[in-house]
Amino acid sequence: MSTNSIDPNTWIDKYSDYLFNYTIVRVDDKEIAQDLVQETFFAGLKSMKNFKGEASERTWLISILKRKIIDHYRKINSNKGKAEVRMSYTGDSNTEGDWLEERVADPFDSNAESEIENTELGLAIHNCLGKLPQKQATIFKLKTMQGFDTEAICNDFDITASNLWVIIHRARTAMAECLQKNWF
């Protein structure tokens, strides 16, 4: 385990905007997004010793952030934590950040033009999600963006699996139409 390849003193300058843009599309609340990014940096500091250098520093931080986002949704959408997210990670905070590093390639290493395009697309998606009815938007995010289990979502919202897929279909149709008008 080597901490030589990461430098937490540069994280805010290097990654805060990227992590914030990644988060705001998924949580749709500026303050919550900022809090989750801050929690990610804190968790990264606590688990620096677990960084193996098998993925880029940014990929490692994104893997921590994804867990923070999932935990956020579990907290606000579960019936007192009964919903399960079927992900393979340990609950041990000492190994936080270690759970996905070896499984995640860094698809974000790209040129500046792609990053600008991704940011613009992220904002377009965020705006289109904001036009959906609240329940539909939340269920769409949980299932398609966060990968929550169908059964957990159905339990949390007291809906059937058929109802869930109707909601997802309607959200996808509305999102496609919105993106067609506002992005393409």
d(Cα 7, Cα 138) in Å, to the nearest integer?
A: 35
Which pLDDT value is given to residue 84?
Answer: 39
User: Alpha carbon of 181 to those of 97, 115, 127, 134: distances in Å?
Assistant: 38, 21, 12, 21
Q: Which residue has the tokens 């809906």?
A: 159
Which pLDDT value is given to residue 37?
Answer: 92
CB distance 68 to 43 below 8 Å: yes
d(Cα 134, Cα 140) in Å, to the nearest integer?
A: 10
Q: Tell me which residue of 146, 180, 161, 123 sits closest to 65, measured CA to CA.
A: 146
pLDDT digits (tens, 9 = 90+) for 91-131: 444 544 444 443 444 444 444 445 555 667 777 788 888 89
pLDDT digits (tens, 9 = 90+) for 3-61: 446 888 888 888 888 898 888 888 878 899 999 999 999 988 888 887 887 778 888 89
d(Cα 153, Cα 166) in Å, to the nearest integer?
A: 13
Which pLDDT value is given to residue 118?
Answer: 61
Query: What is the model's pTM?
Result: 0.45
Q: How confident is the model at residue 149 (pLDDT cuts 50, 70, 90)?
A: confident
Which residues, 6+ apart, have CB-to-CB distance to 129 below 8 Å? 25, 28, 137, 140, 141, 175
